[in-house]
Structure 1
Amino acid sequence: MPDDALYNTEEILDLLKLEQIGPDRYRGQSHFMGSPNVFGGQVLGQALHAATVTVENRRPHSLHSLFILPGNHRLPIEYEVERVRDGGSFSTRRVVAVQEGRRIFVTSISFQTEEEGLSHQKPAPATAKPEELASSIQTWKDSAAKYGRPFLPVPVDFRAAHGGDLYSHNATATHKQVWVKSPIRLPDDPLTHETLFAYVSDYGLLWTSLQPHGVKLGDPRLQIASLDHTIWFHRPFRMDEWLLFSMESPNASGGRGLSFAHVYDIEGVLVATLTQEGLIRLREK
């Protein structure tokens, strides 16, 4: 069994399940992630859950989101699903997240009936295997204790394939590679894996755009926030098997950073692609 002081996998799985409060309307609870604001991954996962339960026999293949306003972690969030279209092979859903009467997030999600077709992929990068790497989680807990900061458990294990971890990189590189895996066996239901993936996808992706500048999280000058987030689901995957997030940041300008990630399973199969742009503003004071 995983150490409850390090991992909160079951708590997050429960968090990503929603209560139906009306026709195509759902309510999700919020939780504390070290900031007064709701963690973006929570909203991504809950919105994906809300949309998916309105679609039959189709899996999500793309999700395009905008973060409009910060949410309050002390309050629940309501999700309103619009059934935009159900076609012969594809379905489209629009989800709006509302808190205290304000729209804080909006996403469009497309679903497709499973089918065969042409197939190719970008090859997986050469990197160390997860079994050869140390977990970052205990290091984070030890560091928090050393500096008198609270440590918040996480739902998955992170193992960085470079000389840093998910939060930082020892070199001013524009890329990093991190292995991810749930510490417990998960149900076979694809929705469990997809919503947990959406939750985890907001860990570390935007932070990659800080690396070339030697700026790290916790820098008192830094103002950082997600602006948009896109996920393309290419092939089936499991969150309780190792996934490699190969992340890079091709650009930063105008107070914004852009980051990409290709996600591979342990066999080198490309299962998803992510993009995220966010605010990475350095304040003078």
Structure 2
Amino acid sequence: MPDTALYNTEEILRLLQLKETGPDVFRGESHFMGSPNVFGGQVLGQSLYAAVRTVDGRRPHSMHAMFLLAGNHRLPIDYEVERVRDGGSFSTRRVVALQEGKRIFVMSASFQAEETGLSHQKSMPDDTDPETLEPGVPRWKELAAGRTRGFQPVPVDFRSRHQGDLFSTHTTEPTKQVWTRAPMRMDNDPLMHEALFAYVSDYGLLWTALQPHGIRMGDPRLQIASLDHTIWFHRPLRMDDWLRFEMESPNASGGRGLCLAHVYDSKDVLVATLAQEGLIRLRQGAAG
């Protein structure tokens, strides 16, 4: 079993499984991530779970989300699913997340019946075997000691060549390679793997846009938040298998940063692509 001081995998898997409170209406709880605001990945995973529960025999191939308001982690979140269309091959769903009657998040998802066809993919660049890399989470806990937000357990292991980059002020190219894997064997239900992937996809992607500017997480000048988030699911994936996130930030301007990621499994198969734009505003007058 995973070390619960470092990993909260089972807690997150329970958190993602929403309770149905009415026809196509679901309710979820939140958990504390060091901030009064709800973690964006949680809402991504829960909204996908809600949408999938209204679709039979089709898997998600894309989801497009927009974050409208910061959620309060002390309050439940209600997810209302609209069955936009069920066609011969594709189904479309729209999900609205609400707290106290206010919309905090909207998401559209598309689902497809299994189909064969033309196939190609971008090749995965060569890299180190993740088994030879130091587990990142214990290092994160060590680096977070004494900081304002401290350390919070995570549902997967993170491994990269430079585990301390999160807190570094060195300027680097806006690229990053990170391997992730759940520290326990998961059931075969594809929904739980997809929902946990959506949850994890909000970890660290936007931080890539900070690397060329020497700004670290926790900088008092920094206001950072997800604005929108897209996932394209290309092929089946498992969260208890190694997944490599090839991240890059092609642009930052206007107080916003754009980040992309191609995600490969341990057999070098491209399983998903991510795109996220977020607020990376430096507030004037804050202490450096």
TM-score, normalised to structure 2, is 0.96
Instruction: Work out the CA distance in 1 between the residues paired with 2:230 and 2:26.
Output: 22
Q: Deviations over 1:81-127 (max 9, x none)?
A: 00000000000000000001100000000000011010001110111
Alignment match, 1:131: 131
Q: Deviations over 1:137-176 (max 9, x none)?
A: 1111222335575321100000013464466585511100
Q: Is the 8 A contact 1:24 1:80 kept in 2?
A: yes
Gaps of 5+ in 2: none
- Cα gap change, 1:281 to 1:146, in 2 (>3 Å): closer
| CA drift at 1:21 | 0.6
Alignment-mate amino acid for residue 177 of structure 1: Q
Instruction: Kindly report which structure 2 residues correspond to 1:182-261, keeping only aligned pairs within 5 A, or say none.
Output: 182-261=182-261
Instruction: Work out the CA distance in 2 between the residues paired with 1:53 and 1:92.
Output: 13
Alignment match, 1:33: 33
Alignment match, 1:44: 44
| CA drift at 1:267 | 1.3
Alignment match, 2:276: 276
TM-score, normalised to structure 1, is 0.97
Structure 2 SS opposite 1:46: helix
Structure 2 SS opposite 1:126: coil
- Cα gap change, 1:147 to 1:22, in 2 (>3 Å): closer
Alignment-mate amino acid for residue 179 of structure 1: W
Structure 2 SS opposite 1:210: helix
Instruction: Work out the CA distance in 2 between the residues paired with 1:167 and 1:201.
Output: 20
Alignment match, 1:262: 262
Structure 1 SS opposite 2:145: helix
Moved more, 127-136 or 58-67: 127-136
Instruction: Work out the CA distance in 1 between the residues paired with 2:152 and 2:205.
Output: 19
Structure 2 SS opposite 1:191: helix
What percentage of residue pairs aligned between the two structures are identical? 71
Instruction: Work out the CA distance in 1 between the residues paired with 2:128 and 2:168.
Output: 18
Instruction: Work out the CA distance in 1 between the residues paired with 2:181 and 2:167.
Output: 17
Instruction: Kindly report which structure 2 residues correspond to 1:78-97, keeping only aligned pairs within 5 A, or say none.
Output: 78-97=78-97
Moved more, 184-193 or 140-149: 140-149
Alignment-mate amino acid for residue 123 of structure 1: S
Instruction: Work out the CA distance in 2 between the residues paired with 1:16 and 1:217.
Output: 26
Instruction: Work out the CA distance in 2 between the residues paired with 1:19 and 1:90.
Output: 25
Alignment-mate amino acid for residue 203 of structure 1: Y
Alignment match, 2:61: 61
| CA drift at 1:283 | 1.0
Instruction: Work out the CA distance in 1 between the residues paired with 2:169 and 2:266.
Output: 23
Alignment match, 1:153: 153
Alignment-mate amino acid for residue 106 of structure 2: V
- Cα gap change, 1:174 to 1:244, in 2 (>3 Å): same
* Number of residue equivalences: 285
